[in-house]
Amino acid sequence: MNDLRDKVIVTVAPTGGFLTAADNPHIPTQPQQIAADVARCHSAGASVAALHARRPDDQATCDAAIYRHMNTLVRERCDIVLNNSTGGGVNGDMVRTRSDGSRVVDWDARLQGLYGGADTCTLDAITAYVISPVGEVLMDTPPSRAAELASAMRALGITPEWEAFSPTHLLQEIRDLTAGYPGPHLVNLVLGLDHTFQNAMPYSPKNLQEMVEYLPENSVFSVSISGSDQIRGLTHALVLGGHVRVGIEDYPFLETGEPAENVRLVENIVGIVESLGLQPATPDEARAILGLDRTDG
């Protein structure tokens, strides 16, 4: 394996659990669409795909069968590292209404996201209200359930990808749930969702620097930024030695304001990576950086 110090993992997040074709006509939502889109992004330099599943009606799901089908189709086309969400979204299979009329992300539905055969799964060990197009939805993840989710991932041979929306997530949940494990710990620092997730933070150079300083020991960190500060923030992440994530899920527009295709977003960030004298990692280089075993399906 070549020296990996100058290799950058570019993650593409093509779909997410919120946006629809009304928001961006290029968004892929069905397994065949997602697989074809991910293959194009792989060819453009992406080495990880952060995938959400959708039902045939485009509503959110973590249905294991849909994830397995989607992951199989992707692997038939390319050897990209696969990350599946256990957050899902705020409609479809992912939300149930409680007796008082409030809505909560369904815990059992989240657990189904573990069984799609991915290399890594996202673990949001947070409790917060999500401000969505359908109103307020609670992502209720008490410490005991976060520990249950992490334990289930490890038992299945899945590496958790921890998402941190503020320094408190790094100093509490992620600190406690990574204690005693050697790592590398995969951490995605998420900024710019302060109008969507309660207690999330906007991007600023100070905010990102502070979060990097609070990472657990032996962490590999990536950064995803929602909003028009994305390019500035991701360039900052690269300077700090991090990896980067782009895609319609995070920010569905080009700098011109027109709706973006995922492959264009990957091409743009790869150009910035190379302009800094760095190189996009191949999937096998990404596996080496992340401490993942090779998965052949």
Residue 213: alpha-carbon gap to chain centroid: 21
Per-residue pLDDT tens over the stretch 129-182:
999 887 899 999 999 999 999 999 999 999 999 999 999 999 999 999 999 999
Evaluate the omega torsion of the peptide bond into residue 184 and state whether it is cis, within 30 degrees of 0.
yes
CB count in 10 Å sphere of residue 97: 10
Q: Residue 38: is its pLDDT beyond 50?
A: yes
pTM over 0.85: yes
Per-residue pLDDT tens over the stretch 248-275:
999 999 989 999 999 999 999 999 999 9
CB count in 10 Å sphere of residue 172: 14
The class level of CATH for 7-290 reads: alpha beta
Q: What is the mean pLDDT of residues 26-47?
A: 98
State residue 1's pLDDT score. Answer: 47
Helices (H), 46-102: 64-77
User: What spatial distance separates the first Cα and last Cα of the chain, rounded to whole Å?
Assistant: 22
Reported as a pLDDT band with limits 50, 70 and 90, residue 211 is: very high
Q: Please tell me whether residue 90 adopts helix, strand or coil conformation.
A: coil
Task: Report the largest interatomic distance among the alpha carbons of the chain, rounded to a whole angstrom.
Answer: 57
Residues 109 and 88: beta-carbon distance below 8 Å: yes
Compute the chain's Rg from CA coordinates.
Answer: 17
Domain spans, the chain: 7-290
Residues 34 and 28: beta-carbon distance below 8 Å: yes
Reported as a pLDDT band with limits 50, 70 and 90, residue 297 is: very low
